[in-house]
Amino acid sequence: MERRTFLRSSGALAAGAVAVSGCAQTDCGPGEGASEPTRNWKMVTSWPQNFPGLGSGAADLAAAITEMSGGRLNVKVYGAGDLVPAFEVFDAVSAGTAEMGHSGAYYWKGKSQALQFFSAIPFGLNGQAMNGWLYEGGGLELWTEIYDGFNLVPFPAGNSGVQMGGWFNKPIDTVDDLQGLKMRIPGLGGEVLRRAGGTPVTLPGAEIFTALEAGTIDATEWVGPYNDRAFGLYQAARYYYYPGWHEPGTTLECMVNKQAYNELPADLQAIVRHACRSINDSMAAEFTAQNAYALSEIRKDPSVELRPFPEPVLKYLRQLSLDVVEEIAAADPQFKRVLDSYLAFGEQVRGWSEISEQAYAGAGR
């Protein structure tokens, strides 16, 4: 069944179930319960409106909440710059300018360095492990605790899977090639690049192509083939590197203004929670399928060179990543607390991964 058709049908079923359940519990007669006010919420995002995967995922989340609530909670989506700039989503939702936001938690490292764990850190957990840590390993509880201080409630709401290393206007053959490199790269990955002698640049997605084409930056990471092709990045740079060492399984977030969330009745709170979890799963599936197709199309372009990062470069970046994390943890108790939970879960899951996904990937080859 096509996704939006499914959302419409599941929304109707959910709304019907809510109506039946409500009357059964309150013994309401005809017309009773109809006076509940319709709630109109705004969702601001860090993505262009309906941009494939990211923007469309936010739109699907809004549609799911609206439809599953039977129209009792209507959510309207505003793309980056429509209501607030891409990097002001956090402040807008915290202040109640909008009730919801869709973005990536590593953009808010200026609020708390620890927030980067809830999106992606270099050489960290992949998408599957991130979901395990957040839902089953205590990660979401830590995230909720931190966001509580900002009048926010967080929910995982998408995962890109492992990303690409990025587009470069010059080859990266040795660690020396990182010296002086101006690259659009967020989060801890940006700090690692700085330690390697490069210059990290923060840009919203809509500005990347122009900056790369004009030479304002020498390289950029974005997401992966699906989104990179949509932005036409293959037309602005020649070398396409993998893997995405800086973002091995990036979680996207839905943040909700805490006061607005607490004012919802319990069933609408449940709809928000479960809609986010549904989109978290469906977006991961979409990226898996669409990245495969987009990569096959990009490979047809003779001007693009698909390259792996040299192993010495990856080892150098891994060591720098460890150094950065250890230094921040030594000075930031909150960061260290989240790091300890993250590492403990990673160690726990590693033994299983080694004899399951990793073993299978190399089986019979």
Contacts of residue 244, Cβ cutoff 8 Å, sequence gap at least 6: 162, 163, 164, 165, 166, 221, 224
pTM score = 0.88
**Residue-wise pLDDT tens digits, 145-178:** 999 999 999 999 999 999 999 999 999 999 999 9
Contacts of residue 163, Cβ cutoff 8 Å, sequence gap at least 6: 120, 221, 222, 223, 224, 244, 246, 247, 248, 250
CA separation for the pair 276, 134 (Å, rounded): 13
**Residue-wise pLDDT tens digits, 69-106:** 999 999 999 999 999 999 999 999 999 999 999 999 99
Q: Which domains does the chain have, with CATH numbers?
A: 35-162+249-289 (3.40.190.170), 166-246+303-330 (3.40.190.10)
DSSP state of 50: T
**Residue-wise pLDDT tens digits, 54-79:** 999 999 999 999 999 999 999 999 99
Phi, psi of 38 (to 5 degrees): -75, 130
**Residue-wise pLDDT tens digits, 264-310:** 999 999 999 999 999 999 999 999 999 999 999 999 999 999 999 99
Q: Which residue in this structure is represented by tokens 């989340």?
A: 61
The answer to whether the CB of 253 falls within 8 A of the CB of 105 is yes
The answer to whether the CB of 240 falls within 8 A of the CB of 298 is yes
CA separation for the pair 277, 74 (Å, rounded): 18
SS3 string of 59-78?
HHHHHHHHHHCCCCEEEEEE
